[in-house]
Structure 1
Amino acid sequence: MLELRPNCECCDRDLSPDSSDARICTFECTFCADCVETRLGGVCPNCGGNFAPRPIRPAHLLIARPPSTTRVRSAKPACA
């Protein structure tokens, strides 16, 4: 099950569980669409993979399976 991380690892922008701007790679690295397009060129700075829109978990399932509250930041130069 996806963690649904709460922020962009690059700019630290909040990304709610229902955000259509959230992008993830195969390792669930989470970035906003703006950083993916303008700073990262569509390539994950952590693993080198590509991005896909993060699926939106239906609201009624968020109670039993809440999103993560742990904020993650990338230490890679593209996000410094």
Structure 2
Amino acid sequence: MLILKPNCECCDRDLPADSPDARICTFECTFCADCVETKLGGACPNCGGNFVARPIRPAALLARYPASTERVHSTKPACAA
């Protein structure tokens, strides 16, 4: 089951579980679409993998399988700008 991290690891923008702007790599590193396109060039700064749109968990299942509340922030140079 996906963790559904609550924020962009680059700019710290909130990414609720139903956000169409969330992008993930194969390791579930989570970034917003804007950072993926403008800062990261489509490649994950943590693993080098590509990004895909994060699936949206149906609201009816969020109560039973909630999104994570643990915020992650990258210290990679690509996110410093």
Both structures adopt the same fold (TM-score exceeding 0.5): yes
Deviation at 1:75, TM superposition (A): 1.2
- How many equivalent residue pairs? 80
1:78 matched residue in structure 2: 78
2:45 matched residue in structure 1: 45
Deviation at 1:19, TM superposition (A): 0.2
2:61 matched residue in structure 1: 61
CA-based RMSD: 0.3
CA distance, structure 2, for counterparts of residue 48 and residue 42 of structure 1: 9
Gaps spanning 5+ residues in structure 1: where?
A: none
Give per-residue Cα distances to partners, 1:50-76, cap 9 Å, x unaligned.
Answer: 000000000000000000000001111
CA distance, structure 1, for counterparts of residue 15 and residue 8 of structure 2: 7
CA distance, structure 2, for counterparts of residue 77 and residue 47 of structure 1: 14
Q: Percent identity?
A: 79
Which residue type is aligned with residue 63 of structure 2? Answer: I
